[in-house]
Amino acid sequence: MQPISYARHQFPPEIIRYAVWLYLRFTLSYRDVEELLAERGLDISYETIRRWVLKFGCSYARNLRRLRPAPADIWHLDEMVIRIQGRRLYLWRAVDSEGEILDVLVQSRRDKGAAPRLMRKLLKKHGFAPKVLVTDKLRSYAAARRDLGLSGRHEQGLRRNNRAENSHQLIRRRERKMQRFKSPMSAQRFLSVHAAIHNIFNLERHLISRPTLRLFRAAAAQQWQNATTAA
């Protein structure tokens, strides 16, 4: 894990970490975070917060990924339409059976050539193939699975893939708050960072007791602390 350097910054690391955490953890705009910090007596402009997110977000996400355990071996793959500067693009996403966001990939096409790019990225990143691959009935997935030689079971069907379909709601909320993404590159960068923060704080609180929630919440806070520690 790589320590984070906060050298030559006017504000202490604790405030920078907190501002970045607010923006990435909750559905807030930069101006919303500015108002929340102002209520706490901190006069920080939204532009400064934006620069902090751009500078430190990727480093935080990289460290958080290194702290995460291996995902489950049931992967749900799906794609959703996003519009950027009037262009129709596709956001390909993968989540496991526990709701962990495995990866995201912004692409211009929804065909046989696009599906293998996501699958190769997943295999390279996680180092193993899933035992079960769950998708909708888009034929690109089956073709990509054959081309890559994956032997795991392939399940298809809209209802079977509800785990991935429901996880799109998180992205839609952020897309509306940001008034759509500004470019494919910025969308890819933001969603990759956002996924890493979401994974450690997505505790599925409706499935656990209150004492267990407190333990999980403390563990998530400790992971965040370790990933954002100053050099």
Cα 168 from Cα 187, distance rounded (Å): 14
Instruction: Locate the domains of the chain by residue range.
Output: 13-67+203-227, 74-182
> How high is the pLDDT of residue 75?
96
Tokens (6 digits) for 120: 């190769």
Contacts from 135-143 at CB under 8 Å and sequence distance 24+?
Answer: 135/76, 135/77, 135/78, 135/161, 136/78, 136/161, 138/79, 138/110, 139/112, 140/110, 140/111, 140/112, 140/114, 140/115, 141/77, 141/115, 143/112, 143/115
Tokens (6 digits) for 36: 């929340």
Cα 153 from Cα 133, distance rounded (Å): 6
> How high is the pLDDT of residue 154?
94
Secondary structure tally for the chain: helices H, strands E: 8, 5
Cα 231 from Cα 219, distance rounded (Å): 22
- CB burial readout 198-219, b (16+ within 10 A) else e: bbbbbbeeeeeeeeeeeebeee
Tokens (6 digits) for 92: 């390909």
Range 74-182 classified under CATH 1.20.1630.10: no
Walk along the chain (231 residues) in steps of 10 and give the mean pLDDT of each run. Answer: 88 96 96 97 97 96 92 94 94 92 93 90 94 92 92 86 86 92 95 95 83 93 92 64
Tokens (6 digits) for 64: 């958080």
Length of the chain: 231
Whose tokens are 């930069």? That residue is: 30
Cα 158 from Cα 141, distance rounded (Å): 14
> How high is the pLDDT of residue 231?
64
CB 60 within 8 A of CB 4: yes
Handedness of CA 61, 62, 65, 66 (dihedral sign): negative
Q: Give the up-direction half-sphere exposure of residue 96: CA atoms within 13 A in the CB hemisphere.
A: 17
* Model pTM score: 0.91
